[in-house]
Amino acid sequence: MPRSNARVRVSRWMETLGGALGAVVFPSDCRLCKALLTRADRLPICDACLGSFPGLPKEVCERCGQPWSVEAAEEESSAICRECRERGFAFDAARSFGTYEGMLAKAIVLLKYEEIDPLGSWFAKQLEKIARGLPEKFGPDLVVPVPLHRARQKERGYNQVDLFGRPLARRLGLPYRPVLLQRKRARPEKQLLHFDERWDAVRGAFAIREGGRVDNFRILLLDDVMTSGATLDACSRALRAAGAKSVAGLTIARAVRQATRVRESA
Ligand SMILES: [Zn+2]
Ligand SMILES: [Zn+2]
């Protein structure tokens, strides 16, 4: 196999560099495609995989950030999609870096279960550009992650949103408030496929911690994935009830509606 040959060659070359340096930059495989990594940084994903992350089109609903489908674009002249008009999300805007599929979905699973800090920093860099592109009126003043339930965080040891949330807040020069929001009710264990179940599962599940202050602040609310928008909506309701001036949601990835429809009918 060419890959293992290359690996042996690189390993021999590393040996000649000597112990200390060799230990720092010892070559490893891309965690997504297993290709040998040749970059010097600590990000364990190759450039080809990073470049394959599925992006979103420029044309999205002004409010929820959902890509316009061809049919919707033809039948609607509004800048706001039908779901936003009919359901009325509690957030003022929601945006994402990419679509929740392919290598991006796999990378988010890595972030969720393997606390890979350099991957969190890489996502923070991508999300910074999107956060800076938000309309001026949404600020933000504070960065707040969607929290895990206390029992879930204890079990996992960390909240994966913090891995990109902290470096993102640093990049934006804003305070990061990981304990401002609390999840009072844990997410059910079973896989929730239908949008209605997702909405029921998070309704009233979040609250502001006692003594937490959000009055008149413009909040940037972070999560890893936006599926139905129910979680961002429930968090936004709690933040708004406590006096937040605006809430803009930002996620690494989102499920796009067409894909969801295919999954539900399968
Ligand atoms: Zn790769
Ligand atoms: Zn919308």
pLDDT digits (tens, 9 = 90+) for 55-70: 999 889 999 999 987 5
Tell me what percent of the residues of the chain surpass a pLDDT of 90: 62
Centroid of ligand 2 to alpha carbon of 64 (angstroms): 4
- The residues that bridge with 225 in the sheet, in sequence order, are 253
Ligand that lies nearest to the alpha carbon of residue 78, given by its number in the listed order: 2
Peptide bond into 118 cis (omega under 30): no
Centroid of ligand 1 to alpha carbon of 34 (angstroms): 6
Q: Model's pTM, two decimal places? A: 0.84
Ligand that lies nearest to the alpha carbon of residue 39, given by its number in the listed order: 1
- What pLDDT does 194 receive? 77
Ligand that lies nearest to the alpha carbon of residue 36, given by its number in the listed order: 1
The answer on pLDDT for 23 being more than 60 is no
Centroid of ligand 1 to alpha carbon of 126 (angstroms): 18
Domain ranges within the chain, ordered by starting residue? 60-265
DSSP 40: S
Closest among 118, 185, 125 to 151, alpha carbons compared: 185
Ligand that lies nearest to the alpha carbon of residue 65, given by its number in the listed order: 2
Centroid of ligand 2 to alpha carbon of 67 (angstroms): 9
Element (H, E) at 31: none
- Give the separation between CA 41 and CA 9, rounded to whole angstroms: 20
The half-sphere exposure of 10 on its side-chain side, counting CA atoms within 13 A, is 16
Ligand that lies nearest to the alpha carbon of residue 233, given by its number in the listed order: 2
Q: Measured in Å, how far apart are the chain's first and last C-alpha atoms?
A: 38
Per-residue model confidence as pLDDT tens digits over 183-214: 998 877 767 667 778 888 888 999 999 888 89
- Which structure tokens are listed for 251? 């996620």
Comparing 12-21, 138-147, 197-206, the range with the smallest average pLDDT is 12-21
Comparing 173-177, 197-201, 251-255, the range with the smallest average pLDDT is 197-201
- What pLDDT does 195 receive? 74
| Alpha helix positions (H), 42-159 | 47-51, 70-75, 82-87, 102-114, 117-132, 150-156
When pLDDT is averaged across residues 87-101 and rounded to a whole number, the result is 95
pLDDT band at 105; cut points 50, 70, 90: very high
Ligand that lies nearest to the alpha carbon of residue 45, given by its number in the listed order: 1
The half-sphere exposure of 24 on its side-chain side, counting CA atoms within 13 A, is 6
Order of strands across the sheet that contains 246-254: 93-99, 246-254, 218-226, 142-145
- Give the separation between CA 224 and CA 100, rounded to whole angstroms: 10
CB atoms within 10 A of CB 220: 27
- Give the separation between CA 94 and CA 131, rounded to whole angstroms: 10
Enumerate residues with CB within 5 Å of ligand 1 (an ion): 30, 32-33, 35, 46, 49
Ligand that lies nearest to the alpha carbon of residue 51, given by its number in the listed order: 1
The residues, ordered by sequence, that sit 6+ positions from 3 with a Cβ below 8 Å of its Cβ are 34, 35, 36
- Give the separation between CA 172 and CA 64, rounded to whole angstroms: 22
For residue 121, give the amino acid letter: S
The half-sphere exposure of 262 on its side-chain side, counting CA atoms within 13 A, is 5
Centroid of ligand 1 to alpha carbon of 185 (angstroms): 37
Q: DSSP secondary structure string, 168-187?
A: HHHHHT--B-TTSEEE-SPP
Ligand that lies nearest to the alpha carbon of residue 33, given by its number in the listed order: 1
Closest among 91, 135, 87, 84 to 239, alpha carbons compared: 91
- Which structure tokens are listed for 216? 């008149």
Centroid of ligand 1 to alpha carbon of 263 (angstroms): 26
In CATH, the number for domain 60-265 is 3.40.50.2020
Is-contact 256 140, C-beta < 8 A?
Answer: no
Centroid of ligand 2 to alpha carbon of 63 (angstroms): 5
Ligand that lies nearest to the alpha carbon of residue 94, given by its number in the listed order: 2
Centroid of ligand 2 to alpha carbon of 265 (angstroms): 22
Which residue bears the tokens 């495609």? 33
Centroid of ligand 2 to alpha carbon of 48 (angstroms): 32
What is the three-class DSSP state of 52?
coil
